[in-house]
């Protein structure tokens, strides 16, 4: 069975012990695609040649012309899941470049058939949308320079890049390290569910302890974003290439995929909201999201993740009795404390992320506004922040109203606590609330790296 197919009913019967391999989740890599292919068969070289040179072609304003001259290739020669994932990534990189080559003021209404037809076919086979997703840009876009070496920023390379130089490598590879840091927590999920089914309090308690440790490691890995990504470059240059054509004022009508469908289609841009990690932890802990943020997250899950991973999340949500009910029912102090730690760590992670979004989006957005109003700024600012698309100013790449969305999601996470007034990690949560961007700047790269790599077992 392929990762793109849904898990069969027999396997997903939760009376059997839950296993990661049913859902193509790796014990070693979690949701990350193990050892992605680097090249397609020779027939697909026209795609590879353009996709490998996308940034240069954008710089010289010639990507659109190249794509229009590209031959229309068949997709039936693509074999197996990894070839399809590489094809999707290749076509996604070309599409984002094609649409946004001239910035927000000269977008296109039609994606030419040379790109649209194979892109649609590959997307259908994978169950992914025809736009760059987290599953492409992060999960399937990596290579170790030294295959025997560790997963570290220095030893990781992107297969494909987009405009933004080193910050693009930083953004995708730090996100990859967050995915990898979560793996022990993902491995512990079946233990929690199977432990609850067997009424084994000790097993559930231990598995929850692994999960809270893994969430801590995710937060440590996330800190590297401040070291490897320039906020001005992220905001002014990179962000547009991640953005989509749904709820986007500069592409109000969406995009016509030529020879696929006459009517335009709308798709959200790439975002780590499409990562399966937090969806899994939310479902396990019983976090119930508020209507509109919940609808956004459900849309990300249903349409922007590999289907087998979305199925895993769904099966976690369906497991009965729920973990939270089990914790309340058993009233065991170590079990309750382990559950509360997970909730608190997840709140702390979301708080950290909110502060990061403020540094990478809110602050540069207000500077960009100021520059536009006053027409000032250094040469560097004019070549980065000042270029930022105005349509994305207050919206996430997925089109959401960023801060209120993120805070609502964080508050709902906090709300799942079984003893909110006596939060065991109240102080830690409060501290992470107070840690705004500049404070983190003071943390040296060396100390961050040593902390993270010492926990990155891989």
Binding residues for heme b: 353
User: Does 276 interact with ligand HEM (rule: CB under 6 A)?
Assistant: no
Dihedrals phi, psi of 110, to nearest 5 degrees: -130, 135
User: Does 400 interact with ligand HEM (rule: CB under 6 A)?
Assistant: yes
User: Which residue(s) pair with 26 in the sheet?
Assistant: 30
Which span (20-28, 87-95, 266-274, 315-323) binds ligand HEM, by CB under 6 A?
266-274
Comparing CB distances to ligand HEM, the nearer of 114 and 161 is 161
User: Does 170 interact with ligand HEM (rule: CB under 6 A)?
Assistant: no
Which span (105-113, 187-195, 265-273, 442-450) binds ligand HEM, by CB under 6 A?
265-273
| Least distance to ligand HEM, CB of residue 418, Å | 21
Comparing CB distances to ligand HEM, the nearer of 275 and 322 is 275
Residue owning tokens 């705004």 = 436
Helix (H) or strand (E) holding 158: strand 156-158
Burial class (CB in 10 A: 0-12, 13-18, 19+), 151: buried
Q: Which of 14, 108, 357, 458: binder of ligand HEM (CB under 6 A)?
A: 357
Q: Which of 208, 222, 391, 448: binder of ligand HEM (CB under 6 A)?
A: 222
Q: Which of residues 2-21 bind ligand HEM (CB under 6 A)?
A: none
User: Does 384 interact with ligand HEM (rule: CB under 6 A)?
Assistant: no
Which span (10-18, 311-319, 373-381, 392-400) binds ligand HEM, by CB under 6 A?
392-400
Residue owning tokens 């992220």 = 234
Other beta carbons within 10 Å of 62: 13
Task: Give dist(CA 105, CA 112) in Å, integer.
Answer: 19
Comparing CB distances to ligand HEM, the nearer of 113 and 303 is 303
What is the token pair recorded at 111? 């994606």
Comparing CB distances to ligand HEM, the nearer of 125 and 353 is 353
User: Does 278 interact with ligand HEM (rule: CB under 6 A)?
Assistant: yes
Comparing CB distances to ligand HEM, the nearer of 121 and 180 is 180
Question: How wide is the angle at C-alpha 326 spanned by C-alphas 428 and 294, nearest 5°?
Answer: 65
Kindly give, in sequence order, each residue whose CB lies less than 8 Å from that of residue 420, ignoring residues fewer than 6 positions away: 414
Kindly give, in sequence order, each residue whose CB lies less than 8 Å from that of residue 194, ignoring residues fewer than 6 positions away: 17, 18, 203
Comparing CB distances to ligand HEM, the nearer of 203 and 436 is 436
Q: Which residue is nearest to ligand HEM (CB)?
A: 396
Comparing CB distances to ligand HEM, the nearer of 65 and 249 is 249
Secondary structure letter of residue 392 according to DSSP: G
User: Does 313 interact with ligand HEM (rule: CB under 6 A)?
Assistant: no
E strands present in 221-349: 256-257
How far is the first Cα of the chain from the last one, in angstroms, to the nearest whole number? 27
User: Does 211 interact with ligand HEM (rule: CB under 6 A)?
Assistant: no
**What is the DSSP secondary-structure string of 406-451?**
HHHHHHHHHTT-SSGGG-TTHHHHHHHHH--HHHHHTS-HHHHHHH
Q: How many residues touch ligand HEM (CB under 6 A)?
A: 25
Please report, for residues 335, 351, 428, the alpha-carbon distance to residue 435 in angstroms, rounded to integers and kept in the order given: 29, 9, 11
Which span (4-12, 101-109, 160-168, 272-280) binds ligand HEM, by CB under 6 A?
272-280
| Least distance to ligand HEM, CB of residue 100, Å | 16
Is the backbone of residue 199 left (phi > 0), alpha (psi -120 to 50) or beta?
Answer: left
- Coil, strand or helix at 204: helix
Secondary structure letter of residue 317 according to DSSP: H
Comparing CB distances to ligand HEM, the nearer of 222 and 386 is 222
Contact present, 168 and 156 (Cβ < 8 Å): no
Comparing CB distances to ligand HEM, the nearer of 47 and 142 is 142
Contact present, 20 and 187 (Cβ < 8 Å): yes
Comparing CB distances to ligand HEM, the nearer of 205 and 400 is 400
Binding mask 336-355 for ligand HEM (x = CB under 6 A): --------------x--x--
User: Does 178 interact with ligand HEM (rule: CB under 6 A)?
Assistant: yes
User: Does 245 interact with ligand HEM (rule: CB under 6 A)?
Assistant: no
User: Does 172 interact with ligand HEM (rule: CB under 6 A)?
Assistant: no
Please report, for residues 119, 147, 249, 254, 333, the alpha-carbon distance to residue 258 in angstroms, rounded to integers and kept in the order given: 11, 40, 22, 13, 60
User: Does 175 interact with ligand HEM (rule: CB under 6 A)?
Assistant: yes
User: Which residue(s) pair with 231 in the sheet?
Assistant: none
User: Does 319 interact with ligand HEM (rule: CB under 6 A)?
Assistant: no
| Least distance to ligand HEM, CB of residue 116, Å | 24
User: Which residue(s) pair with 157 in the sheet?
Assistant: 143
Task: Give dist(CA 417, CA 425) in Å, integer.
Answer: 11
User: Does 397 interact with ligand HEM (rule: CB under 6 A)?
Assistant: yes
For binding to ligand HEM (CB under 6 A), which residues are involved? 175, 178, 222, 225, 229, 234, 271-273, 275, 278, 350, 353, 356-357, 360-361, 396-398, 400, 402, 405-406, 409
């Amino acid at each position: 069975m392929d990762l793109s197919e849904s898990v069969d009913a027999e396997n997903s019967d939760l009376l059997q012990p839950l296993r990661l391999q049913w859902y193509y989740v790796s014990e070693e890599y979690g949701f990350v695609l193990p050892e992605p292919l680097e090249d397609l068969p020779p027939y697909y070289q026209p795609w590879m040649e353009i996709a490998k040179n996308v940034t240069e072609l954008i710089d010289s304003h010639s990507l659109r012309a190249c794509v229009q001259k590209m031959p229309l290739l068949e997709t039936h020669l693509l074999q197996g899941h990894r070839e399809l994932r590489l094809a999707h990534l290749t076509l996604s990189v070309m599409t984002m470049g094609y649409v946004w080559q001239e910035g927000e003021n000269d977008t296109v209404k039609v994606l030419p058939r040379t790109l649209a037809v194979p892109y649609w076919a590959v997307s259908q086979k994978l169950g992914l949308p025809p736009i760059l997703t987290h599953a492409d840009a992060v999960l399937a876009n990596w290579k170790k320079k030294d295959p025997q070496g560790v997963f570290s920023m220095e030893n990781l390379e992107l297969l494909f890049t987009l405009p933004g130089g080193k910050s693009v490598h930083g953004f995708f590879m730090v996100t990859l390290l967050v995915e990898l840091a979560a793996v022990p927590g993902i491995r512990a999920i079946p233990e929690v569910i199977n432990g609850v089914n067997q009424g084994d309090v000790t097993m559930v308690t231990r598995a929850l302890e692994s999960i809270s440790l893994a969430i801590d490691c995710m937060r440590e890995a996330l800190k590297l974003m401040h070291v490897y990504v320039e906020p001005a470059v992220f905001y002014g240059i990179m962000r547009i290439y991640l953005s989509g054509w749904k709820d986007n004022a500069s592409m109000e009508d969406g995009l016509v995929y030529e020879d696929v469908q006459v009517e335009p289609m709308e798709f959200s841009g790439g975002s780590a909201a499409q990562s399966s990690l937090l969806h899994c932890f939310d479902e396990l802990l019983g976090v119930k999201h508020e209507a509109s943020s919940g609808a956004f997250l459900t849309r990300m899950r249903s349409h922007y993740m590999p289907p087998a991973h979305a199925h895993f999340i769904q099966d976690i949500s369906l497991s009965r009795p729920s973990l939270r009910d089990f914790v309340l029912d058993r009233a065991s102090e170590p079990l309750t404390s382990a559950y509360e730690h997970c909730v608190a760590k997840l709140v702390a992670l979301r708080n950290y992320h909110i502060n990061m979004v403020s540094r990478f989006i809110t602050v540069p957005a207000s500077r960009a506004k100021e520059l536009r109003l006053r027409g000032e700024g250094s040469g560097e600012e004019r070549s980065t922040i000042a270029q930022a698309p105005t349509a994305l100013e207050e919206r996430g790449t997925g089109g959401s109203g960023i801060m209120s969305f993120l805070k609502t999601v964080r508050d709902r996470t906090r709300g799942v606590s079984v003893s909110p007034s006596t939060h065991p990690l109240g102080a830690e949560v409060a501290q992470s609330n107070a840690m705004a961007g500049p404070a983190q700047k003071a943390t040296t790269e060396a100390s961050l790296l040593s902390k993270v790599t010492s926990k990155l077992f891989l």
